């Protein structure tokens, strides 16, 4: 006989009131099946997220920051001109560091490096090929991305969840039949969160070539997944 204990926490009263734990005991009298199942659905992305920024080197900290501010202002202005809304542009890093070279075992001061980076979401993927080239012409020195996604993936995640559920039930029923049981019943379901993301590809910053061709970028398809852990009881 196997007992499954499910604990539920209920917050009562004020925040200072201790949580009350309620235990629900489910008793399985027959053998059980533990499964972890992952399924995916594929879709065409409608959002591209990327980061871009500027690095400037100057003899003094003030000059490095001044040059960086000028170039970064031009980059942000270009992002807005190409149709990215203010809400979709976010500063991600600002830094100022000393730069040294090493020659003959000696440390040689070169100046100060100022960096400023932003992340941006492009919701019109038809404009994506021209972004890299346009940003390069306005002084951007780095570009990371794009990372493709779906703006509203709630229905897709629900479809992936349904696919995972159905797959788990089919697998459990098949195992139960092999063991001489007619069916299964669900005792426990646990959905895992925090699905690992996909690495953001790196694209070298460069302007369009002499022929005027935009940088080729193919959005392709993305996968949205659901992972669930199940415990089934085999029943006659």
Q: Are residues 100 and 171 in the same domain?
A: no
What was the pLDDT predicted at 3? Answer: 54
What would the pLDDT profile of 57-91 be if each residue is shown by its tens digit? 999 999 999 999 999 999 999 899 888 999 999 99
Low-confidence ranges of the chain (pLDDT < 50): 5-17, 21, 196-211
Judgement on whether residues 56 and 140 belong to the same structural domain of the protein: yes
Residues 6+ apart with CB under 8 A from 176: 33, 182, 183, 184, 232, 234, 235
Asked whether residue 59 falls in the same domain as residue 128, the answer is yes
pTM for this one?
0.69
Domain co-membership, 140 together with 193: no
Tokens of 145: 């991305």
Tokens representing 113 are 């490096």
Q: Which domain holds residue 84?
A: 48-149
Residue position matching structure tokens 């090929």:
129
Whether residue 67 is found in the same domain as residue 184? no
| 72 in a structural domain | yes
Q: Count of CB atoms within 10 A of residue 195's CB? A: 15
Q: Is residue 213 part of a domain?
A: no
Token output for 181: 């049981």
Length of the chain: 236
Q: Are residues 190 and 123 in the same domain?
A: no
SS3 labels along 94-121: EEEEEEEEEECCEEEEEEEEEEEEEEEE
Percentage above 70 pLDDT, the chain: 79
d(C-alpha 220, C-alpha 135), whole Å: 23
Domain co-membership, 101 together with 167: no
* 3-class secondary structure, 35: strand
Structural domains in the chain (count):
2
Residue 165: predicted pLDDT? 97
Q: CA–CA distance from 77 to each of 66, 146, 164, 212 (Å)?
A: 17, 19, 45, 22
The pLDDT score that the predictor gives to residue 2 is 58
């Amino acid at each position: 006989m196997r007992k499954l204990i499910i604990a539920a926490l209920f917050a009562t009263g004020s925040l200072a009131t201790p949580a009350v734990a309620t235990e629900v005991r489910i008793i399985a009298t027959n053998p059980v099946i533990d499964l972890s199942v992952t399924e995916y659905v594929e879709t065409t992305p409608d959002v591209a997220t990327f980061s871009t920024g500027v690095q400037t080197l100057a003899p003094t900290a003030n000059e490095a920051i001044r040059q960086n501010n000028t170039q970064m202002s031009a980059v942000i202005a270009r992002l807005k001109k190409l149709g990215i809304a203010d809400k979709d542009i976010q500063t991600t890093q600002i830094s100022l560091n000393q730069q040294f070279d090493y020659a003959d075992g000696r440390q040689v001061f070169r100046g100060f490096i100022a960096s400023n980076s932003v992340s941006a979401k492009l919701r019109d993927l038809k404009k994506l090929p021209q972004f890299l080239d346009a940003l390069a012409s306005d002084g951007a020195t780095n570009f990371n991305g794009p990372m493709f996604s779906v703006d509203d993936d709630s229905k897709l995640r629900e479809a992936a969840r349904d696919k995972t559920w159905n797959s788990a039930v089919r697998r459990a029923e098949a195992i139960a039949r092999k063991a001489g049981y007619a069916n299964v019943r669900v005792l426990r379901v646990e959905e895992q969160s925090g699905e690992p993301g996909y690495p953001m590809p790196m694209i070298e910053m460069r302007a369009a070539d002499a022929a005027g061709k935009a940088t080729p970028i193919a959005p392709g398809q993305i996968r949205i997944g659901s992972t669930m852990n199940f415990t089934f009881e085999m029943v006659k």
